[in-house]
């Protein structure tokens, strides 16, 4: 993944403990563990800037909380050991009261990790499937606990990151925001289960979908097709780039006149190369499960250009390890509104309606038999927003934020 300064991550402010301690976390659809930095992990950074950022985004201190339960102290098998592309997180495990939103929703007995070593100065709130947790002993995820404790009626959430310049966005647990989606652009996709050799049944590990094709359209109106055979793609908000097949990436680098820079480890481009209304884009084509049609969702070249520092920009793209298995990170998830339905094992996504203040939250009821669009009412549900302007840091954090509830 791109791990360069200025590449965007999306953050949410939560509270942990009693009394509440303010902590900022990355929202990550590509993982399922919840963990936070502690005084030990912040002080372990060799770089003073990393340590400062760690302290700025919130350090959890279990000795200051009356609701902390230390699992590791009574059973050493409860350890935190998570590996990411950027490094590993080591520490202990326990349970706490976690607060989301304003006014707060207080989740009790939430299992989480306390980092003693971590690669970045910000913890992670994974919102994937429980089976994707890194620990041998699995616990309910934060989405599970919202459901189990009666705060939402369905294992479902809608994610709206808005465009690359946006200062706000939201995640809706238990529903989605109808006014953030371009009309008639919705695509229904089953989540692809992982099936091991010799097993007839699969299991759900990641938000994995089938991708039918990729097209790149340039300013001349020419469209070039790539990936004409079915591939698989993971929808990962914790990855800041698009992974593309090698032929598509080479073509994109050529038509954008990007140059690879060893220092940044990125494809550099002119920061003003593409206006927000550019007609150049990458199309991702999918087979709509609902009606059998083929539909595409577009990522503008404008959404690919991200700042590395005040005068340097790069394309948020990188080569896929294999051409038939891709990760669709920040640029794709900014360009699409995605509804992650864990009950129905379904992804519903449409083209994002950028920069709109309109909001119409649809709450999905319990025991829905038709997925997220079997909606009985339009009502408030749990909505959390990140706010704040993009900033440049040395670990790729872009949008700082607070959590609000409606």
Domain count along the chain: 2
- Whether the pLDDT of residue 98 is over 70: the answer is yes
Q: Within a 10 A sphere around the Cβ of 136, how many other Cβ atoms? A: 9
Same domain, residue pair 203 and 133: no
CA distance 58 to 47: 17
Confirm whether 46 is a catalytic residue.
no
Phi and psi torsions of 390, nearest 5°: -55, 140
Same domain, residue pair 118 and 245: no
Same domain, residue pair 241 and 342: yes
Q: What confidence score (pLDDT) does residue 198 get?
A: 67
Same domain, residue pair 266 and 213: yes
138-158 pLDDT, tens per residue?
Answer: 899 999 999 999 999 999 999
166-194 pLDDT, tens per residue?
Answer: 877 889 999 999 999 999 999 999 999 88
Listed residue (377, 403, 379) closest to 105, CA to CA: 403
Mean predicted confidence (pLDDT) in 384-391: 37
CA distance 25 to 28: 9
Name the percent of the chain lying above pLDDT 70.
86
C-beta of residue 4 within 8 angstroms of C-beta of residue 80: no
Same domain, residue pair 136 and 19: yes
C-beta of residue 319 within 8 angstroms of C-beta of residue 249: yes
Q: State in Å, rounded, how far the first CA of the chain is from the last one.
A: 34
Q: Tell me if 368 is assigned to some domain.
A: no
- Whether the pLDDT of residue 85 is over 70: the answer is yes
Q: Tell me if 125 is assigned to some domain.
A: yes
317-337 pLDDT, tens per residue?
Answer: 999 999 989 999 999 999 999
Same domain, residue pair 114 and 239: no
- Split at pLDDT 50, 70, 90, the class of 272 is very high
Tokens 């550019």, located at residue = 278
Q: Tell me if 34 is assigned to some domain.
A: yes
Mean predicted confidence (pLDDT) in 27-34: 94
DSSP secondary structure of 193-239:
PB--TT-SS-B--S-EEEE-EEEEE-TTS-EEEE--S-EEEEE-TT-
Q: What confidence score (pLDDT) does residue 373 get?
A: 56
Q: Which of 236, 323, 341, 400 is catalytic?
A: 236
- Split at pLDDT 50, 70, 90, the class of 367 is low
E strands, 304-373, in order:
305-307, 313-315, 317-319, 325-328, 336-341, 346-351, 361-363
Mean predicted confidence (pLDDT) in 11-40: 94
Q: Tell me if 123 is assigned to some domain.
A: yes
More confident of the two residues 168 and 62: 62
pTM of the entire structure?
Answer: 0.88
Listed residue (167, 21, 171) closest to 98, CA to CA: 21
Q: Tell me if 388 is assigned to some domain.
A: no
74: containing domain: 11-152
More confident of the two residues 194 and 37: 37
Same domain, residue pair 199 and 68: no
**176 token code pair:** 């989605």
Phi and psi torsions of 33, nearest 5°: -90, 145
- Whether the pLDDT of residue 199 is over 90: the answer is no
Least confident of 213-222, 247-256, 308-317, 359-368: 359-368
Confirm whether 236 is a catalytic residue.
yes
Q: Residue 282 sits in a domain of what CATH number? A: 2.40.70.10
Tokens 């991550």, located at residue = 9
- Whether the pLDDT of residue 375 is over 90: the answer is no
Listed residue (206, 224, 223) closest to 32, CA to CA: 206
């Amino acid at each position: 993944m791109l791990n360069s300064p200025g590449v965007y991550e999306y953050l949410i402010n939560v509270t942990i403990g009693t009394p509440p301690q303010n902590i900022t976390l990355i929202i990550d659809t590509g993982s399922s563990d919840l963990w936070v930095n502690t005084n030990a992990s912040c002080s372990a950074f060799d770089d003073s800037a990393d340590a400062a950022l760690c302290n700025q985004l919130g350090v959890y201190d279990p000795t200051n909380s009356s609701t902390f339960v230390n699992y590791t102290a009574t059973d050493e098998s409860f350890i935190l050991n998570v590996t990411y592309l950027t490094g590993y997180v080591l520490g202990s495990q326990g349970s706490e009261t976690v607060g989301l939103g304003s006014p707060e929703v207080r989740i009790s007995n939430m299992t989480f990790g306390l980092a003693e070593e971590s690669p970045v100065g910000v913890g992670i709130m994974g919102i994937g499937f429980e089976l994707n947790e890194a620990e041998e002993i699995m616990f309910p995820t934060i989405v599970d606990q919202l459901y189990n404790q009666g705060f939402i009626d369905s294992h479902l959430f809608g994610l709206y990151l808005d465009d690359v310049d946006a200062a706000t966005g939201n995640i809706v647990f238990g529903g989605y925001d109808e006014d953030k989606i371009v009309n008639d652009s919705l695509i229904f996709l089953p989540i692809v289960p992982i099936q091991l050799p010799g097993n007839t049944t699969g299991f759900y590990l990641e938000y994995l979908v089938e991708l039918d094709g990729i097209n790149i359209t340039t300013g001349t109106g020419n469209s070039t097709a790539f990936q004409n055979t079915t591939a698989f793609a993971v929808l990962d908000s914790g990855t800041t780039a698009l992974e593309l097949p090698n032929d598509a990436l080479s073509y994109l680098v050529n038509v954008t006149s990007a140059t690879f820079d060893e220092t940044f480890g990125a494809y550099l481009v002119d920061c003003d190369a593409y206006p927000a209304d550019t007609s150049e884009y990458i199309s991702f084509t999918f087979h709509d499960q609902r009606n059998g049609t083929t539909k595409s969702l577009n990522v503008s070249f404008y959404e690919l250009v991200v700042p590395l520092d005040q005068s340097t920009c790069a394309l948020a793209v990188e080569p896929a390890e294999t051409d038939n298995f891709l990760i669709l990170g920040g640029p794709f998830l900014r360009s699409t509104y995605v509804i992650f339905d864990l009950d129905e094992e379904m992804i519903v996504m449409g083209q994002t309606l950028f920069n709109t203040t309109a909001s119409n939250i649809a709450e999905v009821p319990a025991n829905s038999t038709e997925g997220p669009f079997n909606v009985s009412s339009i009502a408030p549900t749990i909505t959390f927003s990140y706010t704040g302007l993009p900033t440049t840091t040395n670990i790729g954090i872009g949008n700082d934020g607070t959590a609000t509830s409606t």
